[in-house]
Amino acid sequence: MEAANVFTFSAICFVVLALLLVYRLIKGPSVVDRAVAADSIDILADMALVLFALASKRSIYLDIALVTAVLGFVGSVMVSRYLEGRL
């Protein structure tokens, strides 16, 4: 399988998974389910940025993926602290 086909297949899988997570984000039965869905979408976006960096052979996208991963982690911690009532 060529590298372009692998990246295309991965991109299609990421889009399908993101759409399923958007459904969970909108229809989630609880706030915790919505928070997990939002965090999972952030992880998928980071993985897509890493794959795009590999496909385009540009390292700037790895830096962007790292920053968004750190911001996503901090956001997840803040949401969990808020849901616990400690914020």
Residue ranges per domain, the chain? 3-84
Q: How far apart are the first and last CA of the chain?
A: 50
Across 64-83, average pLDDT: 93
E strand or H helix at 79, and its extent? helix 60-84
pTM of the model: 0.84
Distance of CA 2 to the CA centre of its chain: 25
Mean pLDDT of the chain: 90
Across 29-51, average pLDDT: 92
pLDDT value, residue 85: 87
Residue 11: pLDDT over 90: no
